[in-house]
Amino acid sequence: MEAKKSKAIVFSGVRQIELRDVTLKPISSTDVLVETWWSSISTGTEKMALNGLIPSPPFIFPFIPGYETVGRIVEAGDHVNQDLIGKFAYVAGSFGYEDVNAAFGGASQFIVCPVESLTVLDGIANPQCGIALPLGATALHIVDLAEVKNRKVLVLGQGAVGILAAELAKHMGASLVAVTEPHQNRLDISTADIKVNPDKQDVSAALAGHEFDVLIDSTGIMSAIDTGLRFVKFHGKVIFGGYYQRINIDYSQAFNKELSFIAARQWAKGDLRRVRDLIANGKINAEKIFTHQCSLEDNLMEAYMQAFDDPDCLKMIIHWQDGSEAEKDGGMATCNMGR
């Protein structure tokens, strides 16, 4: 049988992106073939990878990026439930390629992957919202580690993960959620109880009278963390919600308050399904982070650069189907059935 080809976004070198044909591995008895409808751009890992800052084997050029993909299952192996065919699912990437590396590998027109790696999007009116599952699951894991119920929470940064962490903290019973963010458009999207723009407000004055049980960082900026530590109470908890090449903070604050520090690594088992159910039941609003979109016909380098560098771009959605197909299948329906 002739190997199946697929168009894929390939990082071919440092700051080099192209759309080209790649070869898929054969579908095994426990695999599925997914036709991609939407994918997105990671502004952390993929930015570092495109700039050549992650020299580990999966990121050796050329490679296919992407771990935020939603598509329709079009074929299933012999040992897979055939009822899955036709369903939309979130795909956390794939290594199912013959002739190119896969640094998660989700940015491809067709994806071969084990059925266990899918999260079927049952119950979500608009399957495009499955794009939010990995960021939502990351935020959920952070909030789980923070143990926020009946506690006052300060979230630094209102990027996509920070926005979802603040919303989830409220949903999970935090008594007060405050956030800081210097970009006003991001702050406007946030559902926090107290919203502080440090470029326009005095943070100490805005947070006067508050001592927080938990500090969640989603900025990666050491000076922001130092400022935030001033508002954490004795025996408070600090959650590092991003990836940090180095930690360099004012240790005296940690010492004097006997603070606890926890590093959050991605998400825990089951978190993707928990977020799917929260979206389906209208408990969180996923689509608020979808601020920009492009198609394969657009300049992909420009799209990636905007996703990386434009502070107003929380999440760039890449459309893999033409507009008529997406409209025919209800791609513009609301994400939240319960809203």
Residue 191 to residue 176: CA distance in whole angstroms: 11
- Closest alpha carbon to 267 in 90, 134, 69: 134
Domain check: are 141 and 210 in the same one? yes
- The pLDDT tens digits of the residues spanning 136-146 come to 999 999 999 99
Counting residues of the chain whose pLDDT is more than 70, the rounded percentage is: 94
The enclosing domain of 174 has a CATH number of 3.40.50.720
Which pLDDT value is given to residue 242? 85
Tokens of 331: 């791609």
Res 55 pLDDT > 80 = yes
Domain check: are 155 and 82 in the same one? no
Residue 213 lies in a domain: yes
Residue 157 lies in a domain: yes
Which pLDDT value is given to residue 39? 97
Domain check: are 254 and 306 in the same one? no
Residue 110 lies in a domain: yes
Tokens of 128: 């495009």
Bridge-based pairing state of the strands 69-76 and 101-102: unpaired
Domain check: are 148 and 219 in the same one? yes
Domain check: are 234 and 153 in the same one? yes
The mean per-residue pLDDT over the stretch 207-219 comes to 96
Which residue bears the tokens 């940090």? 244
Q: What is the mean pLDDT of the chain?
A: 93
Domain of 228, in residue numbers: 134-263
Residue 31 lies in a domain: yes
Domain check: are 102 and 162 in the same one? no
Which pLDDT value is given to residue 332? 41
- The pLDDT tens digits of the residues spanning 56-97 come to 888 999 999 999 999 999 999 999 999 999 999 999 989 999
The enclosing domain of 10 has a CATH number of 3.90.180.10
Cβ count within 10 A of residue 249? 17
Which of residues 276 and 330 earns the better pLDDT score?
A: 276
Domain count, the chain: 2
Cβ count within 10 A of residue 56? 8
In degrees rounded to 5, what are phi and psi of residue 16?
A: -125, 125
Domain check: are 109 and 144 in the same one? no
